[in-house]
Every structure is written in structure tokens, then in C-alpha cells.
Amino acid sequence: MDKTAENSGRGKLYLCATPIGNLEDITLRVLNTLKQVDLIAAEDTRHSIKLLNHFEIRTPMTSYHEYNKVDKARQLVDKLLRGVNIALVTDAGTPGISDPGEELVRQCYAAGVEVTSLPGPAACVTALTLSGLATRRFCFEAFLPADKKERQWILNELKEETRTIIVYEAPHHLVRTLKELSENLGAERRITICRELTKKYEEAFQTTFREALERYRLEKPRGECVIVIEGKSREALQKEQQRSWEDLCVKEHMDLYLEQGIEKKEAMKMVARDRGVSKREIYQSLAEK
């Protein structure tokens, strides 16, 4: 731990990544920080005490979870302002990713409290690198919303997503979520299902939505899952966009651009691009009229 916060008279919030399964994944920096801070805020103290006991850490804990995150964050910020150094831990992985830590960090910035993040395990990145799918561009959706309208809104957005998509799901909801994703993204979309990451029975297998649903009709899903989904190909997106112009004849399509004041030659070029054909074909089609 550095002395910056101590010199300012204020405490510092440390976001401490903890193992998502294998306890050996904890970093030395996190262990030292958990031992040296004044207080540990834990999503579930009953869960975190097992980790602390394993590494013989005696730092006091307090509960900070989804149902008290706003009021408790205020209390923790007040302690930080009075010089208390606090470590935040989630049940597993990096605090602030799809958990109440986001609210505490927001309040710390509003109050001028220094925050630092100690890197370590994160199920989303672990699954992505294990998936065998494209990793350069990806989007993280965590758990899909429980609210039906919001859930469908997200699913509609994902239909056009070209980046690799990462979704979390509990085993007892896995089949329902796979079915909804299949209906919205296409049954043949490539996916990798990762379960029990870093644990003894870790498994990652590439499949499609259709094949995964067939598998789980015969086999009960077990363990927390991360679904990594191939993004929509640019070729498929382009073909859909081209098909969307088929309701207009070439002349109507041309008129859309001409009415905007675009010169005829440029309009022909744009129509050809929209429809995925050559400029010559557009010229011939117009000449026939």
C-alpha cells in the first residue's frame, strides 16, 4: 500500500480481485492489501471469511451488497474521508463488474476519495480467451435483465452486434436463456459455453445454440456458466442491408438521393453500393425505364 492517501488525511479504496474458483489465482498484492487495510467490505461476509481464513487474514469485515449498496456506500465513503483504508471484495472476480461495487466507486469519485483497482481474476475475460472466438472486439452483457421488456430490448440490440458477446448465466436458467438467444440471434450462431471456470471440473466447449439446446435436453446444466457468442458477421449484415432496399425499384431508390440534391452520377454510385451491384447495372436498369 502506498502512502499517498495517508498523506492527504483520507483513506483509499482498494478494489481487490479475488479467485473465481481456484484459490491459487489470488495475487500477492491483493493478499498484502487485505492484510494491511483497516476494513474489508465484502459482498457476502460468510463467503469471504473462507478466503480470509485460508490465507490467515484477520482484518475486520463489513457487509456491502446489492440491497444496501447506496446507504452503505455513503457510510463507507464517510469512513474513507476520515482516513480509513478499505478493500472491496466481491464473491468472486473483480469488484465493480456486474456487482454493487460500481455504486461505491461512483460515490468515491463524487466525494474526492482515491480509488485503485488491483488486477486479478475476471470470469468474462477468462472465458473470452478460452472461447476460441474473436477477442479483438467484444461486448460484455453480464446477466440479461429479469424485466421482460428490458430483456427483449437488449436481445433486439444484440441481433445486430458484430462484436463477440459475453453473457453470464446460472445453471437453472441456462436453457431458457439459450433458447431466447437462439430465437433472436439464430440457432446456428457459433458459441462457446464455459462452466466452472478455474475449478476442478472446468469445461469449455464450442457449439451452436441448436446443438447446446439438444445437449441440455438430455443433460442437466451444472455450475455457473459464461456464454461467449460469435458476433454477427459483417457479410451477413451487409446482405441484410442490401435486401432492405429490394422493396424499392431502382428509380425510387435513385429519387431518394436526387431529392436530397445529390448529383445523378453520385446517386447512381450510392444506389449501386446500397444494392450490392455494379454501377453499370443501375445505369442499364434506369435506361430500360
C-alpha distances out from residue 162 to 110, 132, 145, 230, 289, Å: 35, 16, 21, 8, 39
Phi, psi of 40 (to 5 degrees): -115, 125
Distance from C-alpha of 46 to C-alpha of 252, rounded to nearest angstrom: 67
Q: Are 61 and 42 in contact (CB under 8 A)?
A: yes
C-alpha distances out from residue 129 to 22, 231, 288, Å: 17, 15, 55
According to CATH, the topology of domain 124-232 is 3.30.950
Q: Are 37 and 1 in contact (CB under 8 A)?
A: yes
Using left for φ > 0, alpha for ψ between -120 and 50, and beta otherwise, residue 131 falls in alpha
Rounded average pLDDT per 10-residue block, the chain, 289 residues: 65 97 96 98 96 97 96 98 97 92 97 97 96 96 95 95 96 97 96 96 96 95 96 76 69 75 80 76 70
- Angle formed by the axes of helices 174-185 and 209-218, nearest 10°: 150
Which pLDDT score is estimated for 79? 98
Which pLDDT score is estimated for 283? 63
> Could you give the residue range(s) of every CATH 3.40.1010.10 domain in the chain?
4-121
The CATH number of 4-121 is 3.40.1010.10
Which pLDDT score is estimated for 284? 73
Give the sheet arrangement for strand 39-42, strand by strand: 61-63, 39-42, 86-89, 12-16, 114-118
> Could you give the residue range(s) of every CATH 3.30.950.10 domain in the chain?
124-232
